[in-house]
Chains A and B, each alone.
Chain A
Amino acid sequence: MSSSLIDHDVLERVLSSALRSGGEFAEVYAEDKRSTSAGLDDGKIEQVTSGRDRGAGIRVVKGDTTGFAHTADLSEAGLRAAADAAGAAASQGGGGTRTVALTRQADHRVGAVTHYPDTITKAAKVDILRRVDEAARASGSAIVQVSAGYGDSRKQVLIANSEGVLAEDEQVRTLLRISAVANGDAGMQTGFDSLGHTIGFELFDRYDVEEVAQRAARQALTKLKARPAPSGSMPVVIKAGSGGVLFHEACGHGLEADLVGKGSSVYKGRVGERVAADFITLIDDGTMPDEWGAIGFDDEGHVSQRNVLIENGILTDYMWDYLRARKEGRPQSGNGRRQSYMHLPMVRMTNTFVTNGTDDPDDIVRSTEKGVYVAKLGGGSVNTASGDFVFGMNEAYLIENGEITEPLRAGNLIGNGPKVLQDIDMLGNDFEMGNPGTCGKDGQGVPVGDGQPTLRVKSLTIGGTAS
């Protein structure tokens, strides 16, 4: 780890200063992030972008009120000004003096980076895009357009709070996304794939970028022959590693303690109850090395951990951040996250997944007389209060008489979280993690991972047009 973003004694003075107006808790979150991105479209490297984001957010809590201010000025004067603003925001008066003594947390790193992005030439980075373009176009003459994006970031983070916590972390992420357009008699179709891990440029030694490009291209080509998706409810089989977003939306968000606390989750008051079949175990795990949602510490300085949310079908716990845990007088779970120093932390998922079942994935398809096989889910969203959620099908096929047959055009699936969870009736033994995701909540995006084995939902509503 390189030198600290802010000196130890400056942090202690800033935190004490933040508490001057009567706050009970104060926190400094500082980050210095360097990023590179490059875009290819229409056969050209359009642009390489270098970015630098550096600043601190200061939070002061008094009673149920949180005051927050952020600044791009990391000098002691800049930090003190933000601390005063946050303190004043949290409090209309009162006051007192408290000194803060910080204890540095032991380093906690999940995974190891071998090729830091700043050690790799920009030429090598844009070359990845050229390879992707070439591989996608070589997949078929009907591929008429390809766009691809490369992105890396190295973020140094420091979190210190008035309870004495001082944690430092460094997060390195590398991402590749590709989108292909195929043109046929019935119009254009698109294919999309991505590759992203919490590691450096070694990503491209470990994974075959040509294969990622070909998958996106094949998806577009396959859909040229697709027919409209059906309209109505039927069984849906979701391929391993392609549908973790189902759990992210169907129950993950509903298990976030901030939503539960305000009574806007269908899972409120249901800990200890059966919410799924006994073969369903749902985990949120920030410690999975290299995965897109991996973190050493959460953005409140709490060490990342593995949390069991549903065990053998029984709801065991929610996910917690500092504020919600403090209110309930219980430990945090390492789920306090934020998009950047300009944002307040809240309860967020990390890597959320369902563990293996025992069914043979081929048997799951064979035992489905008529339904839909989803090979790639797209994004999704959920209304946590009603439990209704949707997600898009990027690549899907009909299942007829136990066999995967014709490709289907894009569409949304809709269901109700608690009901769908109960309706999962088969679970495969072929667990895989899925694509890197960005989870949006209250205007903030954070990197998350998800995963699941092949599974079947007894009944989901397919939002197509074919009767």
Chain B
Amino acid sequence: MSTSRGAHAVDPALIELADKIVAQAQAGEQVEAYVSRGQETSVRVYEGEVEQFTSAQSEGIGIRVIRNGRTGFAYAGTLDPASVDEVLSEARDNVEFGTPDEWAALATPDGVPVQPIDLWNEALAAYGTQSKISLAQQLERLTLAADSRIRVEEANYADGSGEVAVASTTGIRTSGRENGCYVSIGTLADDGPETHTGFGFAVGRNPEGLDLETAAFEAAQRATRMLGSTKPKSRRLTVVLDPFVTAQFLGVISSTLNGEAVIKGRSLFANRLGETVANPFVTLVDDPTNPLAYSATDVDGEGLAARRNVLIEGGVLKQFVHSSYSGRRAGTASTGNAVRGGFKGTPGCGCLALQLQPGLRSQADIVSGLSDAVLIQSVMGLHSGVNAVSGDFSTGASGVMIRNGALAEPVKEFTIASTLQRMLLDVAEVGGDVDWLPMGAAGLTLVVDDVTMSGE
């Protein structure tokens, strides 16, 4: 399979290098080369002045060798020829120390056609330094103007571009390039001895299209909304997750739907295919071919075509996501869900771009129908209080109480807790307000019943 991602080809030198490595494969060896190069710019503005300006270039190569079911890997953060030779020989040497695994192999083209997505924006590539600085300055001004109680901690502009070539002895040959940019801002609102924080951002491929006004408004609102907040009493109630929080929650759910976790006995949904695991109006799809998704891609981390997979449909568990390894071992096939963090690692398995099938109502309409609930604006400590193996879910939170259909007093320094299994079954409504956040899952408002709030 040979694909060229997007309308713009990558530097042929990268493809040649990947081909050259693969051509050095010895009899009985599978070899894969992943070659990448990238550039990034970041600007941080504080009180109208540039506080930091970073301009950076990076490149690297990762080589994977498999022989007799044993895998070895090595990488280097440079493409100079001597280092590349050393990487290949180190990867070969590392093969000796792996345990033979009958399922270990590189991906083989599976005939699923790649649907091209244009991930490159020429306007961004040509965007000038001063314009980048101005965007951050403009965002800072807009945010300060949005609310007089606001201080700005920092305003950022950042962009990046990258090109990648992957080739293997099993017939994978793919390359592509993409770029993107964002602005973000951190805000502070003083409240006696305490200070509340907020943030706002806008993401896209075209810097001219970034919505600074919304970023400024949300950054100001998130901080000022918490003024006067207190610690609530402990009790059970309905929670309304803000789109940004829902996206994080879906990120946790995704690890339970991971085919590799299933075969290794680490998924609480193993052996539950075909069963009801969620409320009937929960339909969860992983679709990296949707160009609206921040993590949209046309190929996965092994170079197979990315594709749309329905994981939960009408509350019923339909399938897990697989890389070629987990698919082979589970007796099925790759679902195009190999994930890879760059040249420093080998592909794993995971969801690429999750989305809950949206409902119909806006957050305001949803809130107006609730008599006693809490809107969760932000969570803290998902990495420490959530266990995707046992299903225990506990996270720090802050937000606003909902009483008789209206937002009431702000609350902070509490936790919300349940289990992942129960939360999926306790979903009471899925909002219609899809927000394509810069995360692996799209956000929308999500209502979950019967969650324990711990405070005083």
Contacts and interface: CB of A to CB of B under 8 A. Distances in A.
Contact of A412 (B99, B266, B384): B384
A7 to B, nearest CB: 19
Contact of B264 (A45, A66, A145): A145
A68 B52 contact: yes
Interface in B369-398: 380-381, 383-385, 387, 389-392, 394-396, 398
Interface in B52-74: 52-59, 71-74
Given A145-B266, A412-B415, A231 B452 contact: yes
Given A52-B83, A263-B151, A378-B384, A122 B413 contact: no
Contacts of B417: 229, 231, 411-412, 463-465
Nearest to B100: A44
A187 B456 CA distance: 30
B54 A72 contact: no
Given A51-B344, A386-B195, A45 B98 contact: yes
B392 A410 contact: yes
Contacts of A69: 54-56
Interface string A216-229: 00000001000001
Contact of A49 (B73, B78, B385, B418): B73
Interface string A314-352: 000000000000000000000000000010100000000
A144 B51 CA distance: 52
Contacts of A187: 268, 390-391
Interface stretch (B88-96, B142-150, B279-287): B88-96
Interface in A247-277: 262-264, 266
Interface string A52-77: 11110000000111111111110000
Given A55-B77, A416-B413, A463-B417, A46 B51 contact: no
A28 interface: no
A171 B100 CA distance: 34
B394 A411 contact: yes
Contact of A52 (B77, B197, B389, B454): B77
B98 A410 contact: no
A52 B384 contact: no
Interface stretch (A300-308, A388-396, A424-432, A449-457): A388-396
Interface string A168-180: 0000000000000
A461 interface: yes
A389 B415 CA distance: 11
Given A48-B72, A462-B454, A126 B97 contact: yes
A38 interface: yes
B424 interface: no
B53 A65 contact: yes
Given A51-B76, A52-B76, A67 B53 contact: yes
A181 B268 CA distance: 12
Contacts of B72: 47-48
B264 A461 contact: no
A232 B452 CA distance: 10
Interface residues of A, number: 81
A67 B41 CA distance: 11
A139 interface: no
A264 B391 CA distance: 35
A180 B349 CA distance: 20
Interface in A378-392: 378-381, 383, 385-392
Contact of A410 (B73, B96, B394, B412): B394
Contact of A379 (B268, B346, B384): B384
A464 B414 CA distance: 11
Given A50-B91, A65-B51, A264-B195, A464 B394 contact: yes
Contacts of A409: 390, 392
B228 interface: no
A91 to B, nearest CB: 10
A2 B77 CA distance: 21
B389 A188 contact: yes
B212 interface: no
B76 to A, nearest CB: 4
A414 interface: yes
A189 B71 CA distance: 30
Contact of A51 (B52, B56, B74, B394): B74
A295 interface: no
Contacts of B398: 388
Interface string B193-205: 1111100000000
Nearest to B381: A390
B58 A72 contact: yes
A387 B86 CA distance: 48
B121 to A, nearest CB: 23
A123 B99 CA distance: 12
A49 to B, nearest CB: 5
Given A181-B265, A264-B195, A386-B197, A189 B384 contact: no
A45 to B, nearest CB: 5
9 smallest A-B Cβ distances: which pairs? A463-B415, A392-B384, A412-B385, A390-B381, A390-B396, A89-B53, A44-B99, A411-B394, A48-B94
11 contacts: A49-B345, A51-B76, A64-B46, A65-B53, A188-B266, A232-B234, A264-B186, A379-B383, A381-B383, A412-B417, A463-B416
Interface of A: 38, 41-55, 63-73, 85-86, 89-90, 122-123, 125-126, 144-145, 147, 181, 183, 187-190, 223, 229, 231-233, 262-264, 266, 342, 344, 378-381, 383, 385-392, 409-412, 414-416, 461-465, 467
Given A48-B73, A48-B97, 6 more contacts: A44-B98, A188-B389, A385-B197, A388-B380, A389-B396, A409-B392
